[in-house]
């Protein structure tokens, strides 16, 4: 095993990802941020220096953090924010997992402003290693012209009437296009320079080579349908879990999900569009200035370096606004593991309720709308053994025994919600529209899909299980930033006895004294 050491500085910088300049929050000035790459078994050490005006924290999305829950990087859950002007060093090993992950700020909605990047773990045990020669990363995200803090403030005010801020454009590996002309001029903050025809991301392919394209939805709100003109996609991985290969032409990907697809460069030398079609049909309010066709270019060696391919949309299937994941029968894990028993079972309702007095629409998990602690974390509270949590803002479910846990997630809302569980993968036993009927609706109990982020359909349900064998305080939340900020987050206090004996570095706790985020 090797130690992978990184030094990062988070700062505010003005860049123009889609042609329009705006202040962004960036790691080492990069957008997306630096690649973290390691082998299974390696230690990852990242020294993060915070040079922005608010507190921050970095989460390693999909890392199990077995035995190092306090390195999970989640403000209010596993740590207090790193104060402005200070540094904190994350330090953890990756003992038992590989695949496509990502890292992002987990303080308020900061990652929407640019604090994210890819996290790739390699292993000689990967079953599809022999099928490809090159690795390519495509991070797809919605993009906004106004800082996310202002958008959240608006969203959580009576003015929004509960409708989410909608993107202005989208980016693939930090680049996109926005039409600076016409009516849309009025929509961006005055004084920010806008240039038409900003360069798109270009991926150089060699004819005959097979690529493993790792697609990461690092956005805050929108889900996408991904395709590459003239090229089939063979899905081999979802969220760090190897899959039996399945061929598609178009791939739906919701916020925080990842897929690896094999792409064989078997076409005529040329330029081809990479398309990430933003699923605007799943938004309440369209943005008239938004072009939902987010593009990049695959350029074969020897092809002219023209900016615009003339390839046509490869997907034969008509565009259908579904706002759901690939079906469970399409995605089958490569390695079978036993399905955990349902030793204990919880029902969790996802809903939005209007606080009448203030006309504010908040997200609720059962009866609780999450607000992050700022000068403490529920992990530290658990370790101190305070016994009870502030139930008005923290729904903490204690799981005292190492057993199987079933969750029935009901979505009472008109939108779909991509739910992520820290430190675990879900075994996805079923999902559907309408109501889940225990004992009537069949569940998949043989080699079901496993992944760390699942979409619960609008007015629908999802049943998942996991093994409660990873001690710590683990967040489970809607990964749409607007929704986690409005309260859609629950926490599982796994094996509290083991939490008591965690050796959490003093420097972590000391950050609580000066916290503000
Ligand atoms: Cu990407 Cu709470 O996570």
Domain with residue 162: its CATH number is: 2.60.40.420
Residue 96 Cα to ligand 1 midpoint, Å, equals 20
Please indicate, yes or no, whether residues 206 and 158 belong to a single structural domain of this protein: yes
Residue 24 Cα to ligand 1 midpoint, Å, equals 20
Domain span holding position 43: 1-125
Residue 270 Cα to ligand 1 midpoint, Å, equals 38
Give the separation between CA 323 and CA 255, rounded to whole angstroms.
11
Residue with tokens 């760090």: 240
Number of structural domains (the chain) is 3
Strand-pair partners of 231: 228
Domain assignment present for residue 469? The answer is yes
Give the separation between CA 361 and CA 160, rounded to whole angstroms.
9
Are 477 and 420 a contacting pair, CB within 8 Å?
Answer: yes
Residue 165 Cα to ligand 1 midpoint, Å, equals 20
For ligand 1, atom 1, the nearest C-alpha belongs to: 61
pLDDT value of residue 517:
45
Give the separation between CA 170 and CA 216, rounded to whole angstroms.
13
Please indicate, yes or no, whether residues 166 and 253 belong to a single structural domain of this protein: yes
Please indicate, yes or no, whether residues 145 and 278 belong to a single structural domain of this protein: yes
Domain assignment present for residue 515? The answer is no
Residue 108 Cα to ligand 1 midpoint, Å, equals 11
Considering 69, 101, 125, which residue would you say is the last residue of a domain?
125
Give the separation between CA 307 and CA 299, rounded to whole angstroms.
10
Considering 95, 125, 155, which residue would you say is the last residue of a domain?
125
Please indicate, yes or no, whether residues 111 and 144 belong to a single structural domain of this protein: no
Q: Which of ligand 1's atoms lies nearest the C-alpha of 484?
A: 2
Domain assignment present for residue 86? The answer is yes
Domain assignment present for residue 321? The answer is yes
Q: Which of ligand 1's atoms lies nearest the C-alpha of 61?
A: 1
Please indicate, yes or no, whether residues 301 and 378 belong to a single structural domain of this protein: no
Please indicate, yes or no, whether residues 354 and 422 belong to a single structural domain of this protein: yes
Please indicate, yes or no, whether residues 141 and 212 belong to a single structural domain of this protein: yes
Domain assignment present for residue 22? The answer is yes
Which residues have C-beta atoms less than 6 Å from ligand 1?
Answer: 59, 61, 74, 104, 106, 256, 420, 422, 475, 477, 479
Query: How far, in Å, are 18, 126, 247 from residue 331 at the CA level?
Result: 34, 17, 10
For ligand 1, atom 3, the nearest C-alpha belongs to: 61
Please indicate, yes or no, whether residues 157 and 263 belong to a single structural domain of this protein: yes
Residue 418 Cα to ligand 1 midpoint, Å, equals 11
Please indicate, yes or no, whether residues 196 and 257 belong to a single structural domain of this protein: yes
Please indicate, yes or no, whether residues 309 and 352 belong to a single structural domain of this protein: no
pLDDT value of residue 182:
58
Strand 241-248 and strand 293-300: the pairing is: unpaired
Please indicate, yes or no, whether residues 270 and 374 belong to a single structural domain of this protein: no
Give the separation between CA 380 and CA 134, rounded to whole angstroms.
43
Give the separation between CA 379 and CA 242, rounded to whole angstroms.
31
How open is the CA angle 353-357-360, to the nearest 5 degrees?
45
Domain assignment present for residue 170? The answer is yes
Residue-wise pLDDT tens for the chain (517 aa)? 999 999 999 999 999 999 999 999 999 999 999 999 999 999 999 999 999 999 999 999 999 999 999 999 999 999 999 999 999 999 999 999 999 999 999 999 999 999 999 999 999 999 999 999 999 999 999 999 999 999 999 999 998 988 999 999 999 999 999 988 854 544 556 678 888 989 999 999 999 999 999 999 999 999 999 999 999 999 999 999 999 999 999 999 999 999 999 999 999 999 999 999 998 877 767 777 788 999 999 999 999 998 789 999 987 665 555 688 988 999 999 999 999 999 999 999 999 998 766 778 899 999 999 999 989 999 999 999 876 799 889 999 999 999 999 999 999 999 999 999 999 999 999 999 999 998 888 999 999 999 999 999 999 999 999 999 999 999 999 999 999 999 999 999 999 999 999 999 999 999 998 754 4
pLDDT value of residue 358:
73
Question: Burial of 256 by CB count in 10 Å (0-12 exposed, 13-18 middle, 19+ buried)?
Answer: buried
pLDDT value of residue 355:
75
Rg (CA), the chain: 22
Four-point Cα dihedral 107, 109, 113, 118, nearest 10? 70
Domain assignment present for residue 516? The answer is no
Please indicate, yes or no, whether residues 121 and 198 belong to a single structural domain of this protein: no
Considering 84, 104, 125, which residue would you say is the last residue of a domain?
125
Contacts of 243 (CB under 8 A, 6+ apart): 235, 236, 237, 331, 332, 333, 334
Per-residue b or e along 389-426, where b marks 16 or more CB atoms closer than 10 Å to that residue's CB: beeeebbbbebeeeebbbbbbbbebebbbbbbbbbbbb
Four-point Cα dihedral 300, 304, 309, 312, nearest 10? -60
Model pTM score:
0.97
């Amino acid at each position: 095993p090797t130690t992978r050491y990184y030094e990062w500085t988070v700062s505010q910088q003005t860049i123009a990802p889609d042609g329009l300049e705006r202040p962004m929050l960036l790691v080492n000035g990069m957008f997306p941020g630096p690649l973290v790459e390691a082998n299974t078994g390696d230690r990852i050490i990242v020294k993060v220096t915070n040079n922005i005006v608010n507190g921050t924290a970095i989460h390693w999305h999909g890392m199990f953090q077995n035995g190092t829950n306090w390195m999970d990087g989640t403000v209010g859950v596993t740590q207090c924010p790193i104060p402005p002007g200070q540094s904190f060093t994350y330090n953890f090993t990756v003992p038992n997992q590989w695949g496509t992950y990502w890292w992002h700020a987990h303080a308020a909605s900061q990652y929407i402003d640019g604090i994210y990047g890819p996290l790739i773990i390699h292993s000689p045990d990967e079953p599809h290693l022999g099928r490809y020669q090159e690795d390519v990363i495509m991070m797809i995200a919605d993009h906004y012209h106004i800082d996310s803090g202002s958008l959240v403030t608006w969203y959580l005010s009576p003015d929004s009437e509960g409708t989410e801020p909608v993107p202005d454009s989208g980016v693939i590996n930090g680049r996109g296009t926005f039409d600076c002309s016409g009516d849309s001029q009025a929509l961006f903050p005055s004084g920010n320079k806008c240039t038409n025809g900003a360069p798109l991301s270009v991926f150089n392919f060699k004819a005959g080579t097979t690529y493993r394209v790792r697609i990461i939805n690092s956005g805050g709100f929108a889900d996408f349908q991904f395709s590459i003109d003239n090229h089939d996609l063979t899905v081999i991985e979802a969220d760090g879990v190897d899959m039996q290969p399945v061929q598609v032409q178009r791939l739906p990907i919701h916020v925080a999900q990842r897929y690896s697809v094999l792409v064989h460069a078997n076409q005529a030398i040329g330029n081809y569009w990479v398309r990430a079609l933003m699923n605007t049909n799943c938004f309440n309010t369209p943005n008239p200035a938004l072009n939902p066709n987010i593009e990049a270019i695959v350029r074969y060696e020897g092809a002219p370096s023209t900016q615009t391919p003339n390839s046509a949309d490869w997907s034969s299937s008509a565009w259908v606004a579904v706002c759901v994941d690939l079906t469970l029968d399409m995605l089958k894990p490569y390695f079978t593991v036993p399905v955990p028993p349902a030793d204990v079972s919880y029902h969790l309702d996802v809903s939005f309720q209007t606080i009448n007095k203030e006309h504010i629409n908040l997200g609720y998990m059962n009866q609780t709308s999450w607000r992050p602690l700022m000068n403490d974390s529920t992990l530290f509270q658990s370790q101190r053994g305070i016994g009870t949590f502030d139930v008005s803002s923290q729904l903490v479910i204690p799981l005292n025994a190492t057993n199987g846990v079933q969750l029935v997630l009901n979505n009472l809302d008109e939108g779909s919600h991509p739910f992520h569980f820290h430190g675990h993968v879900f075994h996805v036993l079923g999902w559907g529209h309408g109501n889940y009927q225990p004992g009537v609706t069949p569940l998949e109990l043989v080699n079901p899909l496993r992944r760390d982020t699942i979409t619960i359909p609008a007015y629908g349900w999802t049943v998942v299980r996991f093994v409660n064998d990873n001690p710590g305080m683990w967040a489970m939340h809607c990964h749409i930033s607007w929704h986690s900020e409005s309260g859609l987050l629950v926490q599982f206090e796994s094996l509290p006895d083991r939490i008591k004996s965690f050796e959490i570095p003093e420097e972590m706790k000391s950050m609580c004294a000066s916290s503000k985020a």
